[in-house]
Structure 1
Amino acid sequence: MKTKPYFSVTNNLVDRLYYHNNPEAHSKSFSHKYKCKYLIYYEHFTDVETAINREKQLKKWNRAKKEFLINLQNPNWNFLNDKI
């Protein structure tokens, strides 16, 4: 089964990754329900409004376009959790 890319905004990526990998912390969250555990792509913004607008833009894209974007930065789809 191929997984679906999940895009979201956070002001603390380290904390977000912790919660994604520790289901007891947020057992009713979307990320827990759909087993979103691995970071394969991210963008950094200094302005929260810009980040939210980008998230909304990405969520409207089709799968092929999302995969193309991920492949530009991370062509092997390596897990980036430990690099943050």
Structure 2
Amino acid sequence: MSFVSEFKLNSVMERGGSIYIMTNFLRTTLYVGVTSDLLVRIVEHRSGKYSNSFTSRYNLTICVFHKMFPNIEEAIAREKQVKKWRREKKDELIFQMNPEWKDLWNNIKEW
């Protein structure tokens, strides 16, 4: 690995990471994701930047859960765990943080 590649990788890892869950208006479909920049990633989902993506196809524009981690590796590991869960367990995770399943965008955009 080159010095520049290693520097870029270390910079991303030092920034930490977040997992998040997106849903649609009726709360019928969920998407679990991971990112090093939650604000930018939520904007991308809400704007439909990637028109062929799962979130765009199912209109998943509402963020109902997010959690930050000190490094991206921990966030990726947690995302992999949560993605394997049954819907009921994901619902409970959301309910613990956000019992009314409100869109958390207004909180996130103020960061």
Provide runs of 4+ in structure 1 moved above 2 Å. none
In the alignment, the residues of structure 1 paired with residue 76 and residue 30 of structure 2 have an alpha-carbon distance, to the nearest angstrom, of 17
Gaps of 5+ in 2: 1-25
Corresponding residue for residue 85 of structure 2 = 61
Aligned partner letter, 1:53: A
Q: What runs of 5+ residues in structure 1 fail to find an aligned partner?
A: none
The correspondence for 1:21, drawn from 34, 38, 46, is 46
Code of the aligned partner of 1:59: K
Q: CA deviation at 1:75?
A: 0.5
Matched, 1:32 2:56: yes
The amino acid across from 2:98 in the alignment is: N
Q: Whose strand proportion is higher, 1 or 2? A: 2
Decide which structure has the larger Cα Rg and report it.
2
Work out the CA distance in 2 between the residues paired with 1:73 and 1:27: 29
Aligned residues: 83
Q: Percent identity?
A: 39
RMSD of aligned C-alpha atoms? 1.3
Q: CA deviation at 1:4?
A: 2.2
Scaled by the length of structure 1, what TM-score is found? Answer: 0.89
Does 2:28 align with 1:8?
Answer: no
- What secondary structure does 2:80 align onto? helix
Q: Under a length normalisation based on structure 2, what TM-score does the superposition of the two structures give?
A: 0.69
